[in-house]
Amino acid sequence: MSDLRARFRTDAGPVRALDGVSFDVARGETVCLVGESGSGKTVASESITGLVDADGGDVVAGELRFDGRDLRALPESELRALRGDRIAHVFQNPQSALNPVYSIGWQVAEAVRLHADVSKREARTRAIDLLDRVGLPDPAGRIDDYPHELSGGMKQRVAIAMALAGEPDLLIADEPTTALDVTIQSQVLRLLDELQSEREMALLLVTHDLGVVAEMADRVVVLYDGLVMERGSVYDVFERPSHPYTRALLDALPGRRGFGRSGTSANAGTDGQHSTSSSGRSSATDGDPPPGCRFRARCPHAVDACREGEHPPLYPTPGSESAPDGDAAAAEHVASCVHFRPDGDPGVVYGSDPTEGEANADADAGETR
């Protein structure tokens, strides 16, 4: 997607949710969308298949391309066909995907029949296969169970089975494990990871959990206030976080030594709840956004230049071509911070971090990576 802008109509006036978000997800790749609550992760992911419109939102500008087609130009009927077929969603709450009055087997079989012209009997057999594949114990025995007879983790597995029924090319999972017990979380993540590599699926994973990102992502998109702050391979973003916001996010990770003694509090959402409330961001209501960098007020490295003009565009970070696999696309590491302007000094950001000596300026970045 490129330069995606979206807004919601609310009683208090339009709310800007996305202010120009660009990223791609390639086949066989996992891209994680991270950022604190209200940063626009869900809106960005749901805009792909037009779910945002269904939610009272409007994608007002930008481009969404899937397989060379501009999704925003597709009529709703075609979009609906694409959704759930080539592109499937898994949500935080499996309850929302399951109908309480039908057995899980019936629901998975229906999902199969939606995408493939097969008999009911064949669909049921495939449903059992799918349920087996997502790790539901004794699928043949449990296929006539109703959702309420299953645990949350099992329900999410069923929801994933339904999402996979159409053999999607792109699976969009929005906080798919947040509602689950910690032990179940990692099982479900491992499952997504396996299914993804098995099927060469593209996976867009929305999460506020940087531990999940580290485990799952090939590439990371860091959102703040409806804008991309930083984008790069998981390797680059974790090894050399460049936007002050990303650095603050990582700083807040337990077990990671703090560098931002500045008191910048960046919290990717402690309650783990997906929120759709329109409150929370004072800057969100429409009208002119405050000039300059959106993160300025919370940034320990803000300078006068950060007050001017628009939010900075994405600049390449020094040494970003040195990704381990030499893959050019994966090597793209960019941050929207004035200190990464061609005439800027990234050392202002990196240099303030005594715990990361090797990141001290760009000069030795090439040698240490």
Q: Is the dihedral of CA 195, 200, 204, 208 positive or negative?
A: positive
274 is a site residue for ligand ATP (CB under 6 A): yes
| Size of the residue set binding Ni ion (CB under 5 A) | 3
Selected from 30, 39, 42, 156, the binder of Ni ion by CB under 5 A is 42
Part of the chain binding ligand ATP (CB under 6 A), chosen from 34-42, 149-157, 250-258, 305-313: 34-42
Residues 6+ apart with CB under 8 A from 77: none
The residues in 196-215 that bind ligand ATP, with binding defined as CB under 6 A, are 208
On whether the CB atoms of residues 35 and 223 are closer than 8 A, the answer is yes
13 is a site residue for ligand ATP (CB under 6 A): no
Closest CB to Ni ion among residues 42, 47? 42
Measured CA to CA in angstroms, residue 14 lies from 8, 225, 237, 280 at distances of 5, 15, 33, 14
Which partner in Ni ion, ligand ATP, none is near 10 (CB below 5 to 8 A by kind)?
Answer: ligand ATP
Part of the chain binding Ni ion (CB under 5 A), chosen from 11-19, 47-55, 213-221, 272-280: 272-280
- Report which DSSP code applies to 312: P
Selected from 53, 55, 85, 239, the binder of ligand ATP by CB under 6 A is 55
């950022």: which residue's tokens? 35
> Alpha-carbon distance 182 to 157, whole Å?
15
Q: Which residues, in sequence order, are bridge partners of residue 223? A: 228
Question: What letters, b where the CB count within 10 A reaches 16 and e where it falls short, cover 88-108?
Answer: bbbbbbbbebbeeeebbbbbb
Q: Which long-range contacts (CB under 8 A, 24 or more apart) does 262-266 make?
A: 262/300, 264/298, 264/299, 264/300, 265/298, 266/36, 266/298
Closest CA to 300 of 251, 360, 232: 251
- Report which DSSP code applies to 38: T
Distance, C-alpha 161 to centroid of its chain: 20
Selected from 19, 25, 37, 203, the binder of ligand ATP by CB under 6 A is 37
35 is a site residue for ligand ATP (CB under 6 A): yes
Selected from 43, 164, 165, 222, the binder of ligand ATP by CB under 6 A is 43
Part of the chain binding ligand ATP (CB under 6 A), chosen from 106-114, 186-194, 274-282, 332-340: 274-282
What backbone phi and psi angles, to 5 degrees, belong to 5? Answer: -125, 135
Please state the closest distance from residue 25 (CB atom) to ligand ATP, in A. 17
368 is a site residue for ligand ATP (CB under 6 A): no
Please state the closest distance from residue 142 (CB atom) to ligand ATP, in A. 31
> Alpha-carbon distance 153 to 181, whole Å?
8
Selected from 13, 280, 357, 366, the binder of ligand ATP by CB under 6 A is 280
| Size of the residue set binding ligand ATP (CB under 6 A) | 25
281 is a site residue for Ni ion (CB under 5 A): no
Selected from 5, 10, 140, 215, the binder of ligand ATP by CB under 6 A is 10
40 is a site residue for ligand ATP (CB under 6 A): yes
Closest CB to ligand ATP among residues 10, 125? 10
Please state the closest distance from residue 6 (CB atom) to ligand ATP, in A. 8
> Alpha-carbon distance 201 to 192, whole Å?
10
The residues in 253-272 that bind ligand ATP, with binding defined as CB under 6 A, are 269
Closest CB to Ni ion among residues 128, 210? 210
Selected from 4, 15, 108, 212, the binder of ligand ATP by CB under 6 A is 15
The pairing of beta strand 334-335 with beta strand 315-316: antiparallel
Which residues contribute to the site for ligand ATP (CB under 6 A)? 8, 10, 15, 17, 35, 37-43, 55-57, 208, 269, 274-278, 280-281, 284
Which residues contribute to the site for Ni ion (CB under 5 A)? 41-42, 274
